[in-house]
């Protein structure tokens, strides 16, 4: 494809050497500067091309080099870096829910705000999975706290936290998938806890 009357120029030591309006055909280099040869470009219809090897390559996000040496990215071009950021934002969408109760609690549903979670639970806003459960209470104690997913009038176990003679605890969870609109509830299923507070973290999916 012939490209007529486009602005062609060469970059040498950071200085643009303007060649003015010239005729360029596909695969034809711009005039060579007599000094040290630098990067050669042309622009047409708002697009910028760089002469690489023996052909013109349009510079877009996928062909623009991205330096990942100082930021922890895997991407080596701008397009992949943008997608990597997008994926990180999606995956990092991590709402945290908490439940609690006052006094000594045993074999009872914990509340969210002031409502028992079996009456009205926490609603999940993302597709993903529960990744963490954290817990604290007033005194060191032992027992079990269970996270449920409510489906109609049925409560299905999603994850279990086993507490053994401690006042606070954090643990990771695997295989506890959730979807947008799921309703979650939390219950002390064994032992007795004084003024317990329990929370979870949900990591959103990038898909």
Counting the structural domains of the chain, the total is 3
Claim to verify: residue 106 and residue 118 sit in the same structural domain: yes
Structure tokens at 203: 């990591």
Q: Which of 149, 160, 95, 94 is nearest to 117 (CA)?
A: 149
pLDDT tens for each residue of 159-195: 999 999 999 999 999 889 999 999 999 999 999 999 9
Structure tokens at 138: 């007033």
Contacts of 137 (CB under 8 A, 6+ apart): 167, 168, 193, 194, 195, 196, 197
Claim to verify: residue 107 and residue 167 sit in the same structural domain: yes
Claim to verify: residue 125 and residue 189 sit in the same structural domain: yes
pTM, full prediction: 0.59
Claim to verify: residue 69 and residue 159 sit in the same structural domain: no
Question: Residue 100: what pLDDT?
Answer: 95
- As to burial, measured by CB atoms within 10 angstroms (0-12 exposed, 13-18 middle, 19+ buried), residue 98 is middle
Claim to verify: residue 125 and residue 171 sit in the same structural domain: yes
pLDDT tens for each residue of 42-97: 666 666 667 666 676 777 777 777 788 887 788 888 888 777 776 655 555 455 78
Claim to verify: residue 116 and residue 189 sit in the same structural domain: yes
CATH number (domain holding residue 115): 2.60.120
Claim to verify: residue 84 and residue 39 sit in the same structural domain: no
Claim to verify: residue 87 and residue 101 sit in the same structural domain: no
Claim to verify: residue 136 and residue 71 sit in the same structural domain: no
Range of the domain at 74: 65-92
What is the dihedral sign for C-alpha 186, 191, 197, 203?
negative
pLDDT tens for each residue of 102-161: 999 999 999 998 999 999 999 998 888 898 999 999 999 999 999 999 999 999 999 999
Question: Residue 72: what pLDDT?
Answer: 75
Last residue of a domain, one of 92, 110, 138: 92
Claim to verify: residue 49 and residue 74 sit in the same structural domain: no
Helix/strand/coil percent split, the chain, to 5: 5, 60, 35
Measured in residues, the chain has a length of: 207
Claim to verify: residue 180 and residue 117 sit in the same structural domain: yes
Beta partners for residue 44, in sequence order? 47
Rounded CA separation 6/45 (Å): 9
Token look-up 């926490």 returns 122
- Confidence class of residue 39 from pLDDT cuts 50, 70 and 90? low
Question: Residue 79: what pLDDT?
Answer: 83
Claim to verify: residue 32 and residue 83 sit in the same structural domain: no
């Amino acid at each position: 494809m012939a490209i007529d009357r486009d602005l062609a120029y060469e970059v040498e030591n950071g200085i643009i050497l303007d060649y003015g309006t010239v005729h360029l055909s596909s695969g034809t280099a711009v005039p060579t500067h007599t000094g040290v040869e630098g990067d050669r470009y042309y622009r047409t219809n708002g697009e910028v091309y760089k002469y690489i090897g023996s052909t013109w390559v349009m510079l877009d996000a996928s062909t623009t080099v991205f330096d990942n040496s100082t930021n922890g990215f895997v991407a080596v071009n701008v397009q992949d870096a943008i997608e990597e950021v997008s994926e990180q934002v999606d995956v990092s969408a991590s709402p945290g829910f908490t439940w609690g109760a006052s006094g000594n609690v045993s074999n009872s549903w914990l509340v969210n705000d002031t409502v028992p979670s079996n009456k009205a639970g926490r609603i999940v806003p993302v597709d993903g999975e529960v990744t963490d459960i954290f817990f604290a209470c007033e005194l060191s104690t032992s027992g079990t706290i269970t996270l449920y997913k409510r489906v109609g009038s049925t409560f299905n176990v999603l994850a279990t936290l086993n507490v053994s003679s401690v006042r606070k605890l954090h643990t990771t969870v695997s295989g506890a998938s959730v979807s947008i609109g799921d309703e979650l509830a939390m219950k002390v299923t064994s032992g007795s806890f004084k003024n317990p507070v329990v929370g979870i973290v949900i990591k959103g999916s990038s898909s």
